Amino acid sequence: MTESWRSQLDIGLVHFMAYPIIKDEGPILESAEYIAKDTFWDVLEVRRSEQPGMHAKLKALADQAGMKLGLGAQPGLLIGGLSLNDQDEAGRKAAIDEVKKSIDAAYEMDCRICALVTGKDPGNDEDRKVELGLLVDSMNQLCQYSQDRAEDYVCYVSIETFDHDTDKACILGPTDRAADVCDRIKAAGHANVGLTLDLSHLPMLREDYAECLTVAGDHLIHIHIGNCVCADESLPGYGDNHPRFEYPGSENGTEELKRFLETLKYSGYFEKDVPTEKPVVTVEVKPMPEETSEIVLAQTQRVWQRAWAML
């Protein structure tokens, strides 16, 4: 039973979180090579890079290692303070252009999914209604752009739901609202949209596992797993900081991961028709200041193996 997940899913790792190089600097290729040597990982999620030749190098590394790549557009949006639901048209265009660059990078690296984050929630119903409409328009543009760029396959644009009122305070946000946005995008003729749900964010959203997976329904194409600290603002790692599982004062450990995987299994996620070869469950953990990436990754693997063995 220990490695029976191999037949059901691919397990991934968010590279720019495990090795916090969110600003497109540092030893990107070197740290990716370390991960590629570890046969535990099947998928590496990377951000787009403006370093010359980096996309080609990462693709060659993945090909050599027998891995797949995924693309995360979140860093570029978050660092730039960009919002796909920005009421300022120049600001919204900048966000759209940033994601288009990530979609380009996804095709360069043979990624099937490009995941993104929405902008902040405006905090009132009137503005929220306006901004949800703007978000739908932005997503329609991005899905169409990806369709236009497609050759052998169509890259899906996946909305990752974030916390709504704790740290990032994103408009998406609650799973029911995200599912409604996806309904609107698909109704406009864009089938290449989906949702990425993250175990790290569910405690901050105060959502039940089974309920959010049911609400996400057919839109769910990608899973992130990780941890958060949200019970007390004074605790280290508070907010959307993705500490390792079982970090002091945090929400998710072996038991929570086991329950989430169990819910995923019974929801049918591991049998879903998704854009990737197999359903992907991606680990998103970050070393805290007193920790190292390598030890945190080893601990994460032990937690995963214990949780899966308990199923």
Give the three-class secondary structure for 66: coil
Per-residue pLDDT of 133-144, as tens digits, reads 999 999 999 999
Report pLDDT digits (tens) over 198-245: 999 999 999 999 999 999 999 999 999 999 999 999 999 999 999 999
Tokens of 277: 């070869």
d(CA 147, CA 12): 25
Write down the mean pLDDT value for the chain.
96
CA dist list (Å): 283 to 34, 83, 89, 99, 125:
16, 25, 35, 22, 34
Q: Above 80 in pLDDT, residue 23?
A: no
Mean pLDDT of 70-82: 96
What residues have CB less than 8 Å from 300, skipping those under 6 apart? 244, 245, 283, 285
Q: How far apart are CA 26 and CA 22, in angstroms?
A: 9
How many CB atoms sit inside 10 A of residue 272's CB?
13
CA proximity to 297, closest of 41, 90, 96, 99: 41
CA distance 33 to 65: 9
Q: Domain residues of the chain, as ranges?
A: 4-309
pLDDT in tens, 148-188: 999 999 999 999 999 999 999 999 999 999 999 999 999 99
Whether this prediction's pTM lies above 0.75 is answered by: yes
- Tens digits of residue pLDDT in 26-55: 789 999 999 999 999 999 999 999 999 999
Count the alpha carbons within 13 Å of 61 in the hemisphere toward its beta carbon: 22
Task: Output phi, psi for 84, to 5 deg.
Answer: -75, -10
- Predicted local distance difference test score (pLDDT) of residue 38: 98
User: In this model, does residue 257 exceed pLDDT 80?
Assistant: yes
Q: Are 279 and 223 in contact (CB under 8 A)?
A: yes
- Name the pLDDT band for 1 (thresholds 50, 70, 90): very low
Q: Please report the pLDDT score of residue 39 as a whole number.
A: 97
Place of tokens 């990752």: 160
Element (H, E) at 224: strand 220-226
Tokens for 19, please give them: 């090795």
Compute the C-alpha angle 219/11/154, nearest 5°: 45
How many CB atoms neighbour CB 124 within 10 A? 8
Chain position carrying tokens 């760029």: 149
Strand-pair partners of 46: 71
The topology under which CATH files domain 4-309 is TIM Barrel (3.20.20)
Residue in the block written with tokens 């797949």: 68
- If one compares 24 and 10, the residue with the highest pLDDT of the two is 10
List the alpha helices (DSSP H) in 162-253: 175-187, 202-205, 209-216
* Per-residue pLDDT, 25: 78
pLDDT at 22: 60
Residue pair 119/169 in contact (Cβ under 8 Å)? The answer is no
